[in-house]
């Protein structure tokens, strides 16, 4: 018998037999008195518990909204819009404002029509009441006959481009999976370097170009000075383009301290600073002693190669006279610093793991990343050397070397630490340069590509895949389709985009992008929204480079924070203290790592108050998308509404500079 069972004995009046009745539930209707006694009390407590949860949730939401609005109000009041003047906004901003005005007007009319229940197909012409209703019917007729076909044609064109680019990305991912499955990677000869005979090591030049890199110069010089290579077979050039006299002295002192420790290192400063980084490298390669060196390794100021970097890269050149470049992968010291760096890490992991690795293995060609790579100096010279004609000198030299028959190798397992931009302002400027430069280069290189002696397949790959598809078509359709056409279709339902275009395919492509960084899978949706939000910057940069507009030649050094600088100096001081008992090295009386750090801090200019920016293009697009989401809500579009709502909010976050760190 069950523990909660109840046994009842009843007596019949006709005879003396008894009936045994077993009830298995004490809450059965057989016990009405028990139910009446307990049910109201339990129900009251249940209601009180639910009410408490609702009040707590409402309080949390209220406090969250208050804090958000207070933050937005503070950001707007302290915003600096000096870099968002009419010159930087340009025609694109005016076009967005026109679409925004049309959408707001259309939303107002649609709201009136919705609440008055106007319907073109149910109202006869003689039943029209008032000028406003007649105007609405005329707009519906004009929209269906003229506007919708035009928007539908443009959207179909963008969808075709979207599918082609998605197919290219899918092929790249399949190539990466094949490399992983077969465990394919570049190999080196077993006798490439004889560690017992240092004289067999080739002569290597290491270049560190920098310009006003106060936060990171010491760690980059220190990392290069500790490269494991015979001291008489390596020379480090510190190529300083800084215009700050105090900073120049600090960098000179850093170079001198390493020179006194036996490192073969020189300091160079140009008096005429033209051509940005390309001009700096070109000037350094013009030195007479460069002819004694066979290879040159290049590291930007925030890059910290491991001591074995040269021993992992240089041997790949042995026995391969047509090999011009060995490129290593970037690894990021601050990839988990904030949401902005996490999203950048997703993008760059896909770039190196998939794009660079697949192109390097199957095509022997990819775009040089400008740093963390080793060039054969002969390849640089035969390809024309560094040119100052674009802001992407690294891609320029890579394309010219490829046209001259040189091959490239990408090493996915050799990583060099560097730093990601932590502020939206720095990242935005970096992306503008990275997307305007390729279009400048395409205009300049197209005749040379067509007339070159390489195969038709290589020419097609350069023109259609390397330049057009990945540098022009991607930002074009991403901005046009998801930021302009999609909100317009909410007001033109005859040309509405199918669900698979705005949801299924983008999510699949974003998932493929995130696979090289599996820990970032929870950021799938933010990454999709972030990429669409950045499309306005990339589209604007692409147009500037393609049509040679003024902003195409802007070259701004990406702001660094030097988060690892202090730890590196502490580690350096610890190494110095351990080796002081073994080696008697004559040092300057005030050149230890910690003292140098203190001197650096003393000479630093007092930091300005951190301010945020207002980005008007992003804010205008945010209003456009939110207006379209309101129109979508009237029509109960479902997924379209949610996509437009969250995409509009992401544009709002970017426009108010609420992502990443602020800059001084």
For residue 274, name the pLDDT band (cuts at 50, 70, 90). confident
Mean pLDDT to the nearest integer, 546-564: 73
pLDDT of residue 129: 64
Distance CA(459)–CA(231), nearest Å, equals 42
Lowest-confidence range among 164-173, 603-612, 644-653?
603-612
Looking at per-residue pLDDT, the higher value among 122 and 207 belongs to 207
What tens digit of pLDDT does each residue of 558-575 get? Answer: 777 776 544 444 444 444
Measure the CA–CA gap between 265 and 207, rounded to whole angstroms.
10
241 is catalytic: yes
pLDDT the model gives residue 628: 93
pLDDT of residue 538: 95
Please state the rounded mean pLDDT for residues 247-254: 95
Angle formed at CA 242 by CA 241 and CA 248, multiple of 5 degrees: 110
- Among 228-237, 566-575, 635-644, whose mean pLDDT is lowest? 566-575
> How does pLDDT run across 90-101, given as a tens digit for each residue?
788 899 999 999
Model pLDDT, residue 220: 94
> For residue 427, what are the CA distances in angstroms to 356, 431, 520, 528, 600?
21, 6, 19, 17, 26
Q: How confident is the model at residue 51 (pLDDT cuts 50, 70, 90)?
A: confident
**Taking CA 229 as the corner, what is the angle to CA 224 and CA 233, rounded to the nearest 5 degrees?**
100
Instruction: Return the higher-pLDDT residue of 113 and 385.
Output: 385
What pLDDT was estimated at residue 200?
82
Let me know the angle formed at the C-alpha of 568 by 221 and 297, rounded to the nearest 5 degrees: 30
What Cα–Cα distance (Å) separates residue 73 from each residue in 67, 608, 655? 10, 21, 13
pLDDT band of residue 557 (cuts 50, 70, 90) is: confident
Q: Which residue is catalytic, options 240, 300, 302, 394? A: 394
pLDDT category, 660, cuts 50, 70, 90? confident
Mean pLDDT of 538-547: 92
Q: Is 13's pLDDT higher than 60?
A: no
Catalytic residue among 240, 241, 396, 568: 241
Mean pLDDT over 150-176 rounds to 96
Is residue 214 within 8 Å of 295, Cβ to Cβ?
Answer: no
Rounded Cα–Cα distance for residues 251 and 484 (Å): 49
Residue 119 is predicted with a pLDDT of: 62
**What mean pLDDT do residues 303-323 have?**
95
Q: For 398-426, how does the pLDDT look when each residue is reduced to its tens digit (9 = 90+)?
A: 999 999 999 999 999 999 999 999 999 99
Cα 115 vs. chain centroid, distance in angstroms?
Answer: 43
To which H or E segment does residue 140 belong?
helix 131-142
Torsion angle of C-alpha atoms 316, 320, 323, 326, degrees rounded to 10: 0
- pLDDT score recorded for residue 35: 46
> What pLDDT score was predicted for residue 123?
53
pLDDT given at position 1: 45
C-alpha–C-alpha distance, residues 222 and 236, integer Å: 11
Percent of the chain topping pLDDT 70 = 78
pLDDT digits (tens, 9 = 90+) for 574-601: 444 544 444 433 333 334 444 544 544 4
Strand order in the sheet with 204-210: 265-269, 234-240, 204-210, 295-298, 373-376, 323-332, 407-418
Supply the pTM of this predicted model.
Answer: 0.81
CA atoms within 13 A on the CB side of 345: 23
Active site residue 394: yes
Looking at residue 192, its pLDDT comes to 63
pLDDT band at residue 81 using 50, 70 and 90 as cut-offs: low
Averaged confidence pLDDT in the chain: 83
Tell me, what's the pLDDT at 567? 43
């Amino acid at each position: 018998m069950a523990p909660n069972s109840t046994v009842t004995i009843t007596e019949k009046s006709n005879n003396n037999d008894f009936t045994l009745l077993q009830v298995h539930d004490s809450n059965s209707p057989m016990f009405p008195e028990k139910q009446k006694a307990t049910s109201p009390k339990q129900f009251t407590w249940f209601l009180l518990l639910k009410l408490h949860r609702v009040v707590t949730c409402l309080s949390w939401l209220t406090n969250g909204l208050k804090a958000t609005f207070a933050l937005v109000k503070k950001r707007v009041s302290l915003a600096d819009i000096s870099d968002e003047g009419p010159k930087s906004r340009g025609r694109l901003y005016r076009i967005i404002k026109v679409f925004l005005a049309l959408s707001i007007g259309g939303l107002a009319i649609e709201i009136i029509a919705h609440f008055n229940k106007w319907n073109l197909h149910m109202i006869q012409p003689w039943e029209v009441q008032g000028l406003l209703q007649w105007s609405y019917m005329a707009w519906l007729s004009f929209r269906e006959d003229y506007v919708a076909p035009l928007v539908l044609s443009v959207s179909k064109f963008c969808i075709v481009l979207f599918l082609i680019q998605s197919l290219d990305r899918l092929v790249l991912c399949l190539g990466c999976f094949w490399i992983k499955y077969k465990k394919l990677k570049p190999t080196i000869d077993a006798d490439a370097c004889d560690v017992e005979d240092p004289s067999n090591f080739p002569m290597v030049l290491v270049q560190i170009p920098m310009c006003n890199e106060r936060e990171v110069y010491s760690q980059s010089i220190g990392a290069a000075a500790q490269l494991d290579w015979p001291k008489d077979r390596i020379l480090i050039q510190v190529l300083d383009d800084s215009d700050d006299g105090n900073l120049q002295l600090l960098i000179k002192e850093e170079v001198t301290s390493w020179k006194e420790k036996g490192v073969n290192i020189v300091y160079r400063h140009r008096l005429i600073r033209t051509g940005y980084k390309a001009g700096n490298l070109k000037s350094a390669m013009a030195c007479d002693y460069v002819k004694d060196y066979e290879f040159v390794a290049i590291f930007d100021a925030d890059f910290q190669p491991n001591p074995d970097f040269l021993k992992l890269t240089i041997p790949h050149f042995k026995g391969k006279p047509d090999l011009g470049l060995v490129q290593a992968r970037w690894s990021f010291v601050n990839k988990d610093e904030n949401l902005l760096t996490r999203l950048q890490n997703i993008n760059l992991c896909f770039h190196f793991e998939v794009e660079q690795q697949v192109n390097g293995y199957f095509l022997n060609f990819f775009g040089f990343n400008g740093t963390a790579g080793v060039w054969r100096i002969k390849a640089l010279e035969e390809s024309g050397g560094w040119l100052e004609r674009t802001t992407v000198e690294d891609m320029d030299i890579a394309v010219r070397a490829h046209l001259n028959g040189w091959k490239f190798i990408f090493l996915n397992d050799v990583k060099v630490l560097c730093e990601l931009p932590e502020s939206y302002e720095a990242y935005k400027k970096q992306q503008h340069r990275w997307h305007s430069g390729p279009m400048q280069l395409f205009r300049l290189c197209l005749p040379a590509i067509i007339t070159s002696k390489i195969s038709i397949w290589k020419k097609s790959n350069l023109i259609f895949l390397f330049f057009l598809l990945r540098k022009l078509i991607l930002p074009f359709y991403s901005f046009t389709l998801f930021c302009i056409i999609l909100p317009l279709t909410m007001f033109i339902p005859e040309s509405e985009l199918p669900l698979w275009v705005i949801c299924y395919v983008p999510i699949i492509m974003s998932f493929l992008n995130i696979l090289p960084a599996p820990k970032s899978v929870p950021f799938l949706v933010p990454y999709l929204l972030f990429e669409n939000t950045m499309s306005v910057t990339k589209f604007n940069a692409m147009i500037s480079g393609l049509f040679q507009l003024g902003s195409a030649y802007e070259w701004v050094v990406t702001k660094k924070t030097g988060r690892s600088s202090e730890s590196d100096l502490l580690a350096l001081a610890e190494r110095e203290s351990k080796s002081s008992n073994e080696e008697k090295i004559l040092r300057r009386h005030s050149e230890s790592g910690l003292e140098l750090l203190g001197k650096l801090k003393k000479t630093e200019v007092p930091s300005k108050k951190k301010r945020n920016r207002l980005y008007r293009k992003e804010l205008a697009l945010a209003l456009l998308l939110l207006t379209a989401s309101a129109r979508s809500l009237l029509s109960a579009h479902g997924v379209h509404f949610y996509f437009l709502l969250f995409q509009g909010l992401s544009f709002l976050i970017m426009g108010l500079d609420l992502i990443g760190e602020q800059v001084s």
